[in-house]
Chain A
Amino acid sequence: MLLLLVSLAVFAPLISRYQPAAQNLADILRPSSANHWLGTDQLGRDLFTRLIYAARTDLRIMILAEILPFCTGIFLGMLAGYYGKWIDALVTLMTNTLIAFPFYLIVIVVAFASGAGERGIYITFALVGWIVFARVVKGLSASLRKQEWVASAKVLGLPDSRILLFHILPNVLPQAIVVLMTDMVGLLVAIVTLGYLGIGIAPPTPDWGTMISEGQTFIYSKWWLSTIPGFAVVYTGIALSLIGDGLADLWRRK
């Protein structure tokens, strides 16, 4: 499922002969035809082209925005879990403070400060996205710390950095990846929501959220303008969740 979507996104320029932002004011709001598989939108842009280019935009942002919080979250979580004490207290304080603010509130504040668009999403997610990873990883590393093999490694005189990197990390990573998959669904929905609210991706860059929002006006006559990008979001969400579930099952069996 995801593979199909990713390949559509990656090979978008090869699949479609249209440019996603190319307008044709003489040919607006057309239904599906041989020339335009999903018809055209209110500015005469090919809907199918915009849909797959939007997949590019949204998936790219989703992946890029996850990298930094994923790494920071694991790093801080491991430190807090492994060392405990004041590091744990500090990380817990940070997570508790940030978690008190609703995600969208932070996004809106950041959007006002840095201007709407991709940058706002990256900044916000770098600020708050790591929490979920840190919490999971912290719990796991704390329990691992108490296990005998960690204690023996310590007795053998292995440095902490080595224990963390080669012994704790491989054990917490699968769980973190499962969390990553569910988190990505949430992030995707956030990107789309922000686009819909007009503080996400700026036009003319195609994005599912703005597509839904712009098509909304035509919901009574051209329902597919909003429905198809909406379906794309659901499709991606299900695909990511299935992967998360599959991975979790796989590692559990091991």
Chain B
Amino acid sequence: MSNHRTISKKGIIATALALILLLSGCAAGQNAGSKKAIKGGTLTYGRPASVTSFDLFKEITSNNAFAIDKVFEPLVSFDKNGKVINWLAKSYKVSSDGLTYTFVLRDGLKFSNGKPVTARDAAFSIKHHLSAGGPLAIEAKVDSVIANNKQTLVIKLKKPFTPFLAQLANFSNGIIPYNFDGKSEKQFFKKPIGTGPFAVEKWNPAGDLTFKKNTYYWQKGKPYIDKLVFKTISDDTQAVNQLKSGEVDAIESVPLENAKALSQGSDTKIQTDGSWVTEQVFFNTLDKNLSDVHVRRALALAINRDGLTKAVTFGYAKTAHSLLPTTITYNSDASVKALNYNVAAAKKELAKSTHPKGFTTTLLIASGNSAVKQEAQIIQAAGKAIGIHIKIQSVELATFRERFFAYNYSMMINSGQADFPDADSILAFQTDPKGFSKSYWTHYTNNTVTKLLYAGEQTADGPKRAKIYAQMQQILANEVPYIPLYYPDIVIGHRSSVKGLVVLPNGSVRFEDAYVK
């Protein structure tokens, strides 16, 4: 008995000690757990429009771009501050004459079907993009693209092209398998295979999209989530409702008037940062009224941009003066002489035009975005003050795009956005009448501007390039093919339980570090 008792005492002490150890171990485990990502689960992301295509060489709009960049990845990419970083390439070298670019691929890279990625795949992708052209064509004059060995790719240019590296970071320069993995191009993009963190599992081009985790992803152990669902919610107020109710984990388009409330919500948060976007009013310069520069200048002078920005963006934007947002190097927001709000000057300007007594025109907007609706009414009132009667035409997003792609509009509200971190991205897209976008479908043509654009592309970074872009932005501010309204911040709304979202300045979100607690 006594013996038994002692044993039992020892036993109690031992058990107690073990318990203490175990508990402390648990506590340590918990601490580590709170910092560690949780693996598995599904993250549902609400977006305003469906993904209609994965063809990275032909697509341009953000609804597709931000899905394409989950599947395909470029050699170099950019971080959340817009700095170019190594991505599929572990290193790169640029020759001193700016003509030879040598990329070395990461070791052990694989596509989502498990096949290795070689320099031959990369060469095929770049060459195919060169021949395909498309809306985000490689503008540099490329001499040759050669796979030196399995991991080394050498691109030679005929002429230096300063934004080349930044442009390669664009989603449109993603790497695809050689020869579309033996399939036809059309077939391939229906079931795309890339190196990105996710692969397509289920896709309805008129509805939702489900990605599954790419188990061969080169960032070891990532992505943490098993599935990523893009849920289409075309109305931004609806999106907020669904976020609040927990039906979605995050939303891409937050009506800014709700941003503050979401940031202070008990189970919702926002992530916000400066963007590469400039919200603008665009003029169709082929339109009989708006081809007149005085008319455009009059409208620019009639709009109270400061008031509009304050009323519409609730502190999540800066009033714009120049075309390039302040997040992009060579913006001239502080130095440009913009046409600021002055109704008397606007009337004088209109008097100089071919329509001194005003006219009636239309303003095309995409429905479903509450800020744009408000902007349209402010612009309508501004026009009325100087005798320009503006009818607002609100159409569904897909129709909106079809209309302006066909120049079937007079004025529209839209945003210009850089796809890669260089001034050339927005400037080439919005000023080159020969480019795919024909000066962002304004058809604005000015030879001096075009010459400056090409000069800027070939001038090495430095004060000379800065001067060229300042000059360009001043001409654009004077001739107003578009009125820059404001530079919006990116605001992504998410549940408090969602961690690790990386918001990029182009508005896309990286999900490889994301998890749901």
Contact = CB atoms under 8 A, between A and B. Distances in A.
Nearest to B310: A25
A60 B236 CA distance: 32
A218 B378 contact: no
Interface string A28-42: 110000000000001
B304 interface: yes
A42 B261 contact: no
A218 B380 CA distance: 22
Given A217-B255, A217-B258, A44 B391 contact: no
B84 interface: no
A101 to B, nearest CB: 22
Contacts of B394: 116, 198
Contact of A204 (B237, B258, B380): B380
> Size class of B's contact patch?
20 to 34
B376 interface: yes
Contact of A43 (B257, B378, B391): B378
- Most chain A CB within 10 A, of B255, B374, B376, is at B374
Interface in B126-185: none
B261 A25 contact: no
- Most chain A CB within 10 A, of B308, B310, B311, is at B311
B381 A214 contact: no
Interface in B228-274: 236-237, 240, 255, 257-258, 261
A247 interface: no
B196 to A, nearest CB: 34
A146 B112 CA distance: 82
A203 B237 contact: no
A23 interface: yes
A216 B368 CA distance: 12
Interface residues of A, number: 21
Contact of B377 (A204, A218, A219): A204
B308 A25 contact: yes
A104 B255 CA distance: 28
B258 A21 contact: no
B308 A217 contact: no
Given A198-B394, A204-B377, A26 B307 contact: yes
Contacts of A219: 237
A220 interface: yes
B77 to A, nearest CB: 35
Nearest to A28: B311
A221 interface: yes
A188 B370 CA distance: 24
Interface in B370-387: 370, 373-374, 376-378, 380-381
B381 A216 contact: no
A220 B258 contact: yes
B367 interface: yes
A203 B376 contact: yes
Contacts of A173: none
A25 B370 CA distance: 16
Nearest to A115: B393
A23 B379 CA distance: 11
B380 A203 contact: yes
B307 to A, nearest CB: 3
A219 B237 CA distance: 9
Contacts of A28: 311
- Most chain B CB within 10 A, of A28, A43, A204, is at A43
B392 interface: yes
Nearest to A214: B373
A21 B389 CA distance: 14
A44 B376 contact: no
B237 A202 contact: no
B311 A44 contact: yes
B232 to A, nearest CB: 18
A23 B378 contact: yes
Interface in B281-307: 304, 307
A204 B307 contact: no
Contacts of B257: 29, 42, 217-218, 221
Contacts of B392: 202-203
A203 B377 contact: yes
Given A43-B374, A217-B370, A202 B307 contact: no
Nearest to B311: A25
Nearest to B262: A220
A110 B308 CA distance: 34
B304 A25 contact: yes
B311 A21 contact: no
B312 to A, nearest CB: 8
B370 A214 contact: yes
Contacts of A217: 236-237, 255, 257-258, 370
Contacts of A116: 394
B303 to A, nearest CB: 11
A202 B389 CA distance: 13
A47 to B, nearest CB: 15
Interface in A216-240: 216-221
Contacts of B240: 220
Contacts of A220: 240, 258, 261
Contacts of B378: 23, 25, 43
B367 A198 contact: yes
- Most chain A CB within 10 A, of B376, B381, B394, is at B381
Interface string B84-115: 00000000000000000000000000000000
A157 B236 CA distance: 69
Given A214-B373, A219-B237, A204 B381 contact: yes
B381 A23 contact: yes
A219 B236 CA distance: 13
Given A23-B377, A23-B381, A42-B374, A202 B367 contact: no
Contacts of B377: 23, 43, 203-204
A64 B236 CA distance: 35
- Most chain A CB within 10 A, of B377, B378, B392, is at B377
Nearest to A27: B311
Nearest to B308: A25
Interface in A1-52: 21, 23, 25-26, 28-29, 42-44
Interface of A: 21, 23, 25-26, 28-29, 42-44, 116, 198, 202-204, 214, 216-221
11 contacts: A21-B381, A25-B310, A42-B257, A42-B374, A43-B377, A203-B377, A214-B370, A217-B237, A217-B257, A220-B258, A221-B257
Closest 8 CB pairs of A and B: A25-B307, A217-B370, A25-B311, A217-B255, A217-B237, A198-B394, A28-B311, A23-B381
